[in-house]
Structure 1
Amino acid sequence: MKKVAILVFVLIAFGLTVNAQSLDDKYLSKVQTLDSTIETLYGVISGEKGQERNWELFKYLFHPDAKLIPSGKNQSGVIGATFMTPEDYITRAGKMLVDIGFFEVESHRTVDTFGNITQIFSTYNSFNNESMDKPFMRGINSIQLLNDGNRWWIINIYWMQESPENPIPEKYLPKN
């Protein structure tokens, strides 16, 4: 019985290794630089109404323990945060992104790096389609990343939408 359990474990571990290698073969180039990682992040969630998203690539961007954390007031006016895994985000928002069309476009970025860690404040504009001139929403994504020597991993995305009480500060807006 022990031999069977060990064999099953080895086969599962081998399968996971092969799958990880095939994902690296497909997507490693998309996480080689900060720019390519952030460009891929915005690109993979964006698309016209009815356009499916590449959720395999989306999940590849994130460290296995990563969180996506929207913050702001709930319907009762209480300020808080919701903690999601990438899979939770897909379950919660994936269908809506496809049903209504959604484009998130970075308009400004500040970057702070120390060693292998980077913190990006990325100002975004949200549109329902590429032909919209004015965004229906703006905000800031606080993105924490880790470079393990081989690639960039998104550790967390913590974000807040702009509101009348909290307009985006000038220092986080594009310079004209």
Structure 2
Amino acid sequence: MKYFLTMLLVSFSIAITAQTKKIPHEEAVKTIDGTLTRMLQLLSVEKGNAIDTKSLKELFLPNVTFSVRASDEKYPNPFETVNLEDFLESLNDNYYKQGYEEKELGKVVNEFNGIANVFQSFIGSDSEGNTEKGINSYQLVYLKDRWWIANMIWTMETDEVKIPKKYFHENSKKKQ
């Protein structure tokens, strides 16, 4: 077991060192707020443009997972998880090329000793004027003088289940 943990840490350190070399937005990743603001900026794209997945990839640990909890149990997969490459590939969909914008409505940050959990409420708007609100839940880790997104899970608001007021700016408590 000790050997496994040592190898895991060595592999992890090598992967982080390799990713650290090409940080295009070094100042953004110095804070949790900057990292998440950059995330939303990169997910938002004007019609005819593609999401900059190369820059987006640099916000994440190599073994990050992305999970979505469907708001309707009628979906065949009400909970789905993908890896980094599959997540980035999904962003090449024509839906995003038609234009998409995601804005933060508020967040609650809990941080201790280089780890953080953030609940971020957001509103997403597509090119046809459709909007949806949801919650992004991030787990972040502070390594090599910057924040990395380690995991992300999100779900959407429904008519039956509204986002609690504590996740909106006027009620959020930033603890950075």
Q: Is it true that 1:23 corresponds to 2:22 in the alignment?
A: yes
Residue 65 of structure 2 corresponds to which residue in structure 1?
67
Residue 120 of structure 1 corresponds to which residue in structure 2?
118
**CA-to-aligned-CA distance 1:10-63 (integer Å, 9 cap, x gap):** xxxxxx999746513x33333111121011100001011111221111110000
Whichever structure has more helix as a proportion of its residues is: 1
Cα separation, 1, equivalents of 2:43 and 2:145 = 24
DSSP-derived class of the 2:93 partner: helix
Cα separation, 1, equivalents of 2:151 and 2:60 = 8
Q: Alpha-carbon deviation of 1:165?
A: 2.1
DSSP-derived class of the 1:35 partner: helix
Kept in 2: contact 1:105–1:126 (CA 8 A): yes
Distance change >3 Å, CA 78–CA 169, structure 1 → 2: farther
Cα separation, 2, equivalents of 1:63 and 1:45 = 17
Residue 55 of structure 2 corresponds to which residue in structure 1?
57
DSSP-derived class of the 1:48 partner: coil
Residue 151 of structure 2 corresponds to which residue in structure 1?
156
Q: Alpha-carbon deviation of 1:73?
A: 4.4
Kept in 1: contact 2:45–2:100 (CA 8 A): yes
Kept in 2: contact 1:69–1:82 (CA 8 A): yes
Residue 13 of structure 1 corresponds to which residue in structure 2?
none
Say which one has the larger Rg. 1
**CA-to-aligned-CA distance 1:67-94 (integer Å, 9 cap, x gap):** 1111124673567321112221122232
DSSP-derived class of the 1:27 partner: coil
* TM-score (norm. length: structure 2): 0.77
Task: Give the AA of the match of 2:157.
Answer: E
1:137 aligned residue (132, 141, 156): 132
Cα separation, 2, equivalents of 1:80 and 1:21 = 35
Cα separation, 2, equivalents of 1:90 and 1:66 = 12
Runs of 5+ unmatched residues, structure 2: 1-14, 172-176
Identical aligned residues as a percent: 26
DSSP-derived class of the 2:159 partner: coil
Cα separation, 2, equivalents of 1:82 and 1:108 = 25
